[in-house]
Structure 1
């Protein structure tokens, strides 16, 4: 084997757990290893690996060993964790393992990402009228500094990131099969259908997979589903170029709703295709996987192996042709998006070792791949591979023997976004747009996913502003000056910048692209030429709004004062109106 093998005494580590000792109190210089751990014996655990430490690279049980967390732990069978802002959010399927003694867990555990001190444990996400739990944990995504979404076996829930309380369920994501009284021991019960899988935040929306529906597109401002891309999908990621990629089942006989009713364990799954989704237009393109494939992730849900580089426009995933061993894989593949080529870059089966669960993730700082490998379910031998982005092993680490069952690698978020300063802008001829794509970057996150939002406009009577698809649109209303504060939020860490805007126009201009006419008379102003309903806003020359409503073609607008000049805005287009 290439690399170095580091083995440490299990007895010493176990004594550390019982004594409550803690080797180091900050966690920014390595990688978190979230473990399902030994079901039936104890709750899930997190270890921390410092690859540059030649003497003692592993720190074990960093939640349980923290003295501030006395009597607390993670929940049972944690499969997902994410750092957002200053916290790490760990989501477990259940709140407590039957074998855990002396510590209480939670389906949601919020801890300080630097110190691992627990801030909040939420044992139950949602209950029925009888008080029975009706939502097992799945995943998490940060939406903004005030809220996040928690995925479950029964819908998506809004989590207040200031109080760490569940606010409500997002309408349309619920699992109607779950009542709290169902039996799921057969492996095809309600718990294995309609689940929420991976979720991610783009600059404009939240994308979430629901097992029996497809990819849900959610407006993060309203928490409403605005579109569903139907299909049978599993894992999901956003690539460096900004596109969304999901694994799709190509067994077309299995595409009819409900997908989860038959073959929940995966025998009907054929993951031979990626679906590319444009994050702005929602246009899709099917990309056949020419070598390898994607295993389904639904039965005993995992996050899946599909992951993306932040340095190159490349995806990685692992695969096992054996449908009955979907949670253990040996072959790792690279998909070069720009050249549209799939390549096998590693096969661990030659060493009789296998990637477990989600298996691999890429460090966003240095583009190194981390893989979690083991022998089989009955052995306590595990390894962590550090590999370059071509699949070559750089280092090999061997933790103490234990039934770890690693779920996911999580990388510290060390850096806030770096944001350029704005140059003052003068509006002379009407509406202008500013491309914000290259305004901000982040060393350890996808630049394309940085969220830009307008926090304030000092004088809203001068300019109207909006941001969509990383473009800031400025619509002059009146002559004057104003300041616009824009927030650049990268994974919960944000920087505000102020744009000085000088408007030398009311925005009134001839518009040659629209055939809209304003016909004035004693009864008011008639709008002609609209082909569908539109939103009309009218301002006087001082920038004061005097009318705002949805209108139809031939509608008559009343209430305007005669003998005045107005600015009318329809669908962000400005017109001069004299009445």
Structure 2
């Protein structure tokens, strides 16, 4: 009994000592967690900008306030060159390894900012040597930038172009790393599939028009003629389903392909739009269910149209986010709306109107 009582006493002393150790000035010391970033609780809207009247910009939709904040990069970096020169337009952005890569075309810069604070951490200055399109990260040291003349390897420590990949010539746009491959969209060759390890060309698929999106089953989706294709990123085997329309390319006035995927189920969303952007209908295809393509999933309100890649999937809310400008020209481009739709039903959840000549190009979600 004495031994048992001694054990209990020792145990009690240990608990008491632990509690005392956790106290400081009569307050329990709590583990300090990292403070949330200023731009962590929301998503980005990448704006092309009004060509010839200033540069593009980055807006931020704040979940807490339910409001859209404009020119957040410029406000966080008042001494930065921003997205100069004014002759360029911001057209693409992607988040990779906690950084936001904002890509300008028309000889503009690639600007890299911390995705939580939007403080600039690096840039590739605008230059007549390069005409950028899109970015995809490979690992902590390497990334790829597509351009009007192919694909370049980028050193992510120095933010300098290292070399040009073989196999892609001419205008090159959207890219996706999936499994052991990198899918690249090229104007003349269609889809070029590279080995992610040694960057050699594994396969080319002629005639591909839009790409790429990846569903939870890891399949990569793209369009060709009147069909939506899926590609297995391990075997490169493909399957297809016929669409009720023929998607065009986006090369005429380049913008990122308006095709996205859910992270909840194997569903793909894409816009029915002309090759220069616009359109009023968004379609949805759930793998194995052709009836989901029988009619548009979302149609814009009267006198409202999409502009470029104006659709995004929000994984935090399972919503489809779209943006529109008012039909017509001139002052109509200053009439903007953001819509939030349930990704399962298409039901409109919320609409936020805002004004200004932003020319929204695409969304980026954490």
In structure 1, the gaps of 5 or more residues are: 1-23, 96-105, 126-131, 176-194, 251-271, 413-579
2:342 matches 1:391: no
**2:192 counterpart (216, 239, 263):** 216
Give 1:283 deviation, angstroms. Answer: 2.0
Q: CA deviation at 1:163?
A: 1.7
| Structure 1 residue 240 corresponds to structure 2 residue 216 | yes
Q: What displacement does 1:234 show?
A: 2.5
Q: Which residue of 1 aligns with 2:277?
A: 327
- Find the aligned partners of 2:189 and 2:211 in 1 and give their Cα distance: 14
| Aligned pairs for 1:84-95 within 5 A | 84-95=96-107
> Highest Rg: 1 or 2?
1
Change (3 A) 1:352 1:84: same
Q: What residue in structure 1 maps to residue 360 of structure 2?
A: 406
| Residue 197 of structure 1: how far off its partner (Å) | 1.7
How far the C-alpha of 1:227 sits from its partner, in A, is: 2.0
Shift of 1:330: 0.6
- List aligned pairs for 1:498-577, cutoff 5 A: none
Give the structure 2 partner of residue 296 of structure 1. Answer: 249
Aligned to 1:536: none
Which TM-score applies when normalising by structure 1?
0.53
Structure 1 position 295, deviation (Å) = 3.5
Tell me the matched-pair count.
Answer: 322
Q: Deviations over 1:207-226 (max 9, x none)?
A: 11111102111122212222
* Structure 1 stretches of at least 4 aligned residues deviating more than 4 Å after TM superposition: none
Spell out the pairing of 1:416-435 with structure 2 (5 A cutoff): none
State which of 169, 172, 196 in structure 2 corresponds to 1:174: 169
Contact 2:269 2:285 in 1 (8 A): yes
Decide whether aligned partners of structure 1 residues 312 and 286 sit closer, same or farther in structure 2, where only a CA change above 3 A counts.
Answer: closer
Q: Deviations over 1:78-126 (max 9, x none)?
A: 111000012110111034xxxxxxxxxx42111111111112221247x
Q: Is the partner of 1:64 in helix, strand or coil? A: helix
Which of 34, 46, 54 aligns to 1:42? It is 54
Pairing 1:336–2:336 present: no
In the TM superposition, residue 69 of structure 1 has moved relative to its aligned partner by 4.3
| 2:57 matches 1:81 | no
Match of 2:117 in 1: 115
Give the TM-score normalised by structure 2: 0.83
Q: 1:58 aligns with which of 68, 73, 77?
A: 68
Structure 2: how far apart are the matches of 1:157 and 1:146? 14
Cα shift readout 1:335-384 (whole Å, capped 9, x = no counterpart): 01132331422211x42111110010101222111101110342110011
Distance 2:149 2:91 in 1: 16
Structure 2's unaligned 5+ residue stretches are 1-35
> 1:142 maps to which residue?
137
